[in-house]
Structure 1
């Protein structure tokens, strides 16, 4: 059932009643004061979040719990004509909103009527103020309930330090909510995003931005969009997310969900193992505490590449590669919301080669203590109890099985690279073509790009008494001829222990030396070709001597040890 739809209508009145009761109960006890003086707020800023995205995610969590079905992250430029870098950031939702007393509470650390709630995404009441001050030195909470006026409360850290929030008794007091109008850029965006009317909701406006990680609007938009696409991919039935007017496409970090972004970017598809559900029970009473679901996937070794014959390096990395890199390890999700990725377990650690195996552990919020969930929902500290359950459920074996599948796929890919299909070039020929332009402008005329042949070709010939290789120019290509009558061919190039990879390396070695021969000046060319003849005779003798030693050692008997 869709949570936002099921709670709208009559359900929202009960939520507002809970807010009202909470604010009334706390009014006298708290006197609307902050928990501690301004040093607390400065310390909270320095505790920080892993990224801007993690901070803003706290505000998105609040919007989802307010049953919003649309959440917008909007950038403001304070009336300037430049849109290169925002100076304001607003998170806008169309949830149930807050009454004025609750807005005042929401600015406080720990001010939430959902304290210790295990059914949603938040339970501490720290997210809104912590996230806001981690991005900027001032934030304002605007909110309105259905058929109500817009009210707002502002907390400015500079004003706090100047004593503007300190009353006659020396206590720091959050000001009362005031009736206000929304900033023009927020109001304009709401008019476009909600053409039939914005009847209730909340806006968190953060300005005096001094901790943005990305220097441009484009960088901020792209990185936030990618992160939120992954973080909330399981909750996309609850609300649509937009960053700077762009819809955030959901991204499954295991790439297993059809129709999600990047799932079928190309013919490479994620391969799943069967998921496992684990019930968690109290070890003493056997009472049910919650559940975990394990999902597994392995990815083809070319999954992150544009050109499938090459690794995902530099410009050859496709849009999937950023997800492989950022979500490398075991993914932990709580109530459908991704909160952490860890590369270490008690029995193994994930290395770079493990980017192509994917493991997700989804758990319910009732298991927060067992997973050591932090107040900012950025990290888990998995208890020994949980690790033991995961081990019993076969997680270590599953990880090794995923690794084995990727290893087999890499081996198959390697073998395919050394065994070209009819009409395809050899790996060594392709490798040399890749460096064909590195020799300088004086060689560029030697390669006719209109030719169907490769600039480098390998051929075989049988010429007893001749050098083990020679090179020439033929039809615009540089051709390497390997002499099958020389010991080099049988004892080294085609010897039983020689792998296809080593054979390709030998071809590249001779191609490179051949370039030196062909590019040498006329005066030096004769000397170099003469050295090849001497090298070939010496090599023939040495390989023959090596072969005789090997035959002699095979014939030797080894008696019993005394």
Structure 2
């Protein structure tokens, strides 16, 4: 049964404890409770590292979930009488089934797990606990008890390990035997608050000698943990409640599609989802079912991460959603409901900064671990060609392009809204053209300027018309309307391009207004000729701008290929 199929406790604690006893009895004598490798192994494991402190702690949360915990706490401890600005200890506390004394000793070891190669939950190798613990500090203690028994613990101190204190007479490194334990004061205080009726069973991972914390303050550390755990475990919200320093971790859907989750309704902007797609994965030779993938898609309005919706999400204008947009930028990969990796590169495209507003998730079952190249730390996937081919066949590349188009159109609409004046306001180009027209018609143009501003016969509009000229002029409402085509490269690359300024846009508007005047005032024969010229100019301009973009992307040293001249455009 998968961890996603229902409450973990429903699978029965008794059978788990029996499996632990059998594992400890069978393996304990054979390995002599030794680390089996010299001190350099532990130093090397520390230096392998995790992407973040939160990724390391997630390994311990995984174990708690698989122990049927209903509540998981990350608690900070401080030096006696010292500052609470930064913790000197951390503890991950759960109320799961716990471990008997012999199993605690095994759990300290790399590879010590009765769930070896289990595909139904979150862990497989038994590396998570010791790897995560030593990546944060130089000492860790595992304290645990099963219901109706006493508390026991085993401690591994890397300084003592380097000093040879764990070596037996033969020189082998031996994990200390479990011993009856007492709780640290800060853990005992927390248990009294969290479990007023008593803490009956569970496991506590106590982390000491913390020398690899990324954040300088408790508040920054806690905020980062709350956000990352909320995202990593959002699909497993029904399995256990997670708390950090007493704060409940609200689930965060990185696609922002779940109404009850955090950041969904920060403001009126909403994510727009596409229909999810389920893909069965079968052995290409025998057709045997190996597992399944589910693809989820969403696109977000370009103002989704902004406070002031008229401006980009930069600096203090970024709302709380923006950090999630930034951290989970690319294709999100989740295994058995647990988020494990985000990748920006695929065989057919690469996600760039502008793609923050498109979201793609690939959820897969643990039976596909080898095909997804899942690492022991569950931090990274290395996708096989076979899986990429299945994703391509399932329409992933087309879906990504569709999402990009949606965002691009939304950005164009947002920009148009910003460029079009509010009721009662006129653009500078409209005012200039109106006053210039009156000036040619009357010597008293200056005296009539006020009337011209109110009754301007010129107006600027926008339209999205693929395969049409980059502009056109039309008679409308007793005046003349210039319509700029947002589907043409002229709009994105020049009029609203990276180097565009209000002055430049106004100058372009004036130029096109004047071209438009010449077209409207021409006779019918010339109008037909002018229309043909404008269509030819538009096609040539589209081609030239496309080649310019290619040239800039490749660099100056590479030939971009064809010449700008194309006789079919004449």
Q: Could you say if the C-alpha distance between residues 199 and 506 of structure 1 is closer, same or farther in structure 2, counting changes exceeding 3 Å?
A: closer
1:392-471 residue pairs with structure 2 within 5 A?
A: 392-423=393-424, 461=435, 462-464=438-440
User: Once the 2 structures are TM-superposed, how far is the Cα of residue 485 of structure 1 from its aligned partner?
Assistant: 12
Q: Name the counterpart of 1:228.
A: 229
**C-alpha separation in 1, matches of 2:457 and 2:235:** 65
Please give the secondary structure, in 2, of the residue aligned with 1:23: helix
1:54-203 residue pairs with structure 2 within 5 A?
A: 54-203=55-204
The Cα offsets for residues 490-528 of structure 1, whole Å up to 9 and x where unpaired, read as x99x995878988997864799xxxxxxxxxxxxxxxxx
Q: Is the Cα contact below 8 Å between 2:495 and 2:505 reproduced in 1?
A: no
Please give the secondary structure, in 2, of the residue aligned with 1:133: helix
Q: Name the counterpart of 1:369.
A: 370
**C-alpha separation in 2, matches of 1:506 and 1:28:** 76
Q: Name the counterpart of 2:546.
A: none
1:200-279 residue pairs with structure 2 within 5 A?
A: 200-279=201-280
Q: Is the Cα contact below 8 Å between 2:257 and 2:264 reproduced in 1?
A: yes
**C-alpha separation in 2, matches of 1:12 and 1:58:** 21
Q: Could you say if the C-alpha distance between residues 506 and 109 of structure 1 is closer, same or farther in structure 2, counting changes exceeding 3 Å?
A: closer
Q: Could you say if the C-alpha distance between residues 427 and 87 of structure 1 is closer, same or farther in structure 2, counting changes exceeding 3 Å?
A: farther
Q: Is the Cα contact below 8 Å between 2:426 and 2:453 reproduced in 1?
A: no
Please give the secondary structure, in 2, of the residue aligned with 1:277: strand
Q: Name the counterpart of 1:350.
A: 351
Q: Is the Cα contact below 8 Å between 1:463 and 1:485 reproduced in 2?
A: no
Q: Could you say if the C-alpha distance between residues 395 and 180 of structure 1 is closer, same or farther in structure 2, counting changes exceeding 3 Å?
A: same
- Tell me the matched-pair count: 490
Q: Could you say if the C-alpha distance between residues 339 and 427 of structure 1 is closer, same or farther in structure 2, counting changes exceeding 3 Å?
A: farther
Please give the secondary structure, in 1, of the residue aligned with 2:76: strand
1:379-390 residue pairs with structure 2 within 5 A?
A: 379-390=380-391
Q: Name the counterpart of 1:29.
A: 30
User: Once the 2 structures are TM-superposed, how far is the Cα of residue 385 of structure 1 from its aligned partner?
Assistant: 0.5
Q: Name the counterpart of 1:4.
A: 8
Please give the secondary structure, in 1, of the residue aligned with 2:20: helix
Q: Could you say if the C-alpha distance between residues 236 and 168 of structure 1 is closer, same or farther in structure 2, counting changes exceeding 3 Å?
A: same
User: Once the 2 structures are TM-superposed, how far is the Cα of residue 418 of structure 1 from its aligned partner?
Assistant: 1.6
User: Once the 2 structures are TM-superposed, how far is the Cα of residue 420 of structure 1 from its aligned partner?
Assistant: 3.3
- After TM superposition, the score normalised by the length of structure 2 is 0.78
- After TM superposition, the score normalised by the length of structure 1 is 0.79
Q: Is the Cα contact below 8 Å between 2:256 and 2:264 reproduced in 1?
A: yes
**C-alpha separation in 2, matches of 1:341 and 1:379:** 8
The Cα offsets for residues 331-350 of structure 1, whole Å up to 9 and x where unpaired, read as 00000000000011111111
Q: Name the counterpart of 1:325.
A: 326
**C-alpha separation in 2, matches of 1:159 and 1:295:** 49
**C-alpha separation in 2, matches of 1:459 and 1:257:** 50
Please give the secondary structure, in 2, of the residue aligned with 1:463: helix
Q: Name the counterpart of 2:561.
A: none
The Cα offsets for residues 72-118 of structure 1, whole Å up to 9 and x where unpaired, read as 00011032331101111110000000011100000000000000000
Q: Is the Cα contact below 8 Å between 2:60 and 2:128 reproduced in 1?
A: yes
RMSD after superposition:
3.8
Q: Gapped runs of 5+ residues in structure 1?
A: 430-456, 475-479, 512-539
Q: Gapped runs of 5+ residues in structure 2?
A: 459-471, 474-479, 507-513, 534-566
User: Once the 2 structures are TM-superposed, how far is the Cα of residue 271 of structure 1 from its aligned partner?
Assistant: 0.6
**C-alpha separation in 2, matches of 1:190 and 1:507:** 62
The Cα offsets for residues 33-75 of structure 1, whole Å up to 9 and x where unpaired, read as 0020110000000000011011000000000000001100001
Q: Is the Cα contact below 8 Å between 1:418 and 1:426 reproduced in 2?
A: no
User: Once the 2 structures are TM-superposed, how far is the Cα of residue 267 of structure 1 from its aligned partner?
Assistant: 1.1
Q: Name the counterpart of 2:18.
A: 17
**C-alpha separation in 2, matches of 1:60 and 1:396:** 34
User: Once the 2 structures are TM-superposed, how far is the Cα of residue 265 of structure 1 from its aligned partner?
Assistant: 1.4
Q: Is the Cα contact below 8 Å between 1:463 and 1:484 reproduced in 2?
A: no
**C-alpha separation in 2, matches of 1:482 and 1:46:** 71
